[in-house]
Amino acid sequence: MSTQRKIMAADVLRHDWQHHDIAALFDLPFSDLLFEAQALHRQHFDPNAVQVSSLLSIKTGKCPEDCAYCPQSVRHDSELEVEALMPVADVLAAAKTAKEKGAMRFCMGAAWRSPKDKDLEPLFEMIKGVKAMGLETCVTLGMLKAHQAKNLREAGLDYYNHNLDTSPEYYEEIITTRTYEDRLDTLAHVRDAGMQVCCGGIVGMGEGRDDRIGLLQQLANQQRHPESVPINLLVRVKGTPLQDVEALDPIEFVRTIAVARILMPHSYVRLSAGREDMSDEMQALCFLAGANSVFYGEKLLTTPNASTDRDQALFNKLGINTLQ
C-alpha cells in the first residue's frame, strides 16, 4: 500500500497498525511526513488552536514503584521534597490560579502505586470542587480497580491519565514493579467506567526507534484511541537511573509526534514533559507535526515546565490560540 493510501486508511481510524506500517511512516522524508501529518491534522482540528492543561502534584514522592525515569520513586535518591496528600482547600486554590491563568483542564497527580479506597475520599471532593470552577478534571493516581474507576467517574472525573510509557519490549528495562498488562487492565477499567482516557508515554529513555514504534502501535491499536496522548520527552533528573541517558535527537522527537498524529487523527497529541529544554523552533515543528495540547504552568509534577510568559510569547509569535 502506498503511504498516501495508508494515511487515508488512518482517517477512518485504524486499530490494526502493523510494526512495518508505522516504521514506513517514520522512514518518510521529514518534509513528506510533516506534510501528511499536518494535512490530516487540518481535517480534524483547528491547526492554530492548542488545548492547555495545568498539573499539580497533590501527593509527592515516596512511591514504592521503581520507574527508572521518575524522581518520585522511593528507590532513587533525587533530593525531592516529599509531601503528604495536600488538603482539599489548597488544591482548589491552585486550581483557581490555573483557571485564572487560562488552563482548560486541571490534572492532579499522586505518587501512588495504586490508591486505597480511603485515599480516594478527599479526591472526590477535589474533583467536585475543580469541576465547579468550570475546569475539566483529570487525575493520575496509579493503578485502579474497576469500582474505584466507577467511583471517580461518579464524582465527575472527565479524564484519567495512565501511561504505557514505552514498548512492551523495552518496558522491563524501565519498570519491574508492575507489568504492561497491569497498565492495560487499569485503562480498561477507566474505559468501562465511561471516562476519557489520557494515555501516552516517554521517549528519550535510551529506547530505539523500534520501541517508539511499539509504543505508538500499542496506543493506536487500543479498541478506542485515547482521547489525549501525552508524548513526554524524558526529563533527566539527577539521582534517577536515567540521569545520564543520551538525549534524543530533536528531529526524531518531531517525527514521533507526527507519526502519533497520523495514527490517532482524532486525538489530542500533547507535547508534554521536556518543553523547558526545547527551543521555540522545535516546539513550532511539533505543532506543525500535529501536536495540539501542552502542559501549561511553571511546574510539571516535581520538575520545572516552560514558563507561562515564555509560552504566551511563543503562542503570540505562532498565532496560536489556546482553547477555553
Q: How many binding residues for ligand SAM (CB under 6 A)?
A: 19
- C-alpha torsion 37→38→39→40, nearest 10: 50
From 5, 14, 75, 138, active-site residue = 138
- C-alpha torsion 183→187→190→191, nearest 10: -160
Interaction partner, residue 234 (ligand DTB, ligand SAM, ligand SF4, none; CB < 5-8 Å by kind)? ligand SAM
Interaction partner, residue 36 (ligand DTB, ligand SF4, ligand SAM, none; CB < 5-8 Å by kind)? none
CB count, 10 Å around CB of 278?
Answer: 18
Q: Is 273 a residue that touches ligand DTB (CB under 6 A)?
A: yes
Cβ nearer to ligand DTB, comparing 4 with 304: 304
Cβ nearer to ligand SF4, comparing 65 with 207: 65
Interaction partner, residue 68 (ligand SAM, ligand DTB, ligand SF4, none; CB < 5-8 Å by kind)? none
From 105, 183, 198, 255, active-site residue = 198
Known catalytic membership, residue 107:
yes
**Which grid coordinates are listed for 266?**
482524532
Separation between Cα atoms, residue 243 and residue 236, nearest integer Å = 5
Known catalytic membership, residue 63:
yes
Separation between Cα atoms, residue 117 and residue 103, nearest integer Å = 29
- Nearest residue to 13 (alpha-carbon basis) of 40, 33, 48, 34: 40
Shortest Cβ distance from residue 211 to ligand SF4 (Å)? Answer: 18
Q: Is 142 a residue that touches ligand DTB (CB under 6 A)?
A: no
**The one segment of 41-49, 173-181, 275-283, 299-307 that binds ligand DTB by CB under 6 A:** 299-307
- C-alpha torsion 259→262→264→266, nearest 10: 140
Residue 31 main-chain phi, psi, to 5 deg: -65, -40
Choosing from 272, 283, 292, 293, the residue that interacts with ligand DTB (CB under 6 A) is 272
Q: Is 137 a residue that touches ligand DTB (CB under 6 A)?
A: no
**Which grid coordinates are listed for 271?**
507535547
From 183, 236, 255, 270, active-site residue = 270
- Nearest residue to 51 (alpha-carbon basis) of 314, 269, 203, 297: 269
**Which grid coordinates are listed for 4?**
498516501
Interaction partner, residue 302 (ligand SF4, ligand SAM, ligand DTB, none; CB < 5-8 Å by kind)? ligand DTB
**CA quadruple 98, 103, 107, 109: dihedral sign:** negative
Known catalytic membership, residue 67:
yes
Shortest Cβ distance from residue 184 to ligand SAM (Å)? Answer: 13
Site residues, ligand DTB (CB under 6 A): 55, 71, 107, 109, 140, 161, 163, 200, 230, 232, 235, 272-273, 300-303
Active site residue ranges: 63, 67, 70, 107, 138, 198, 270
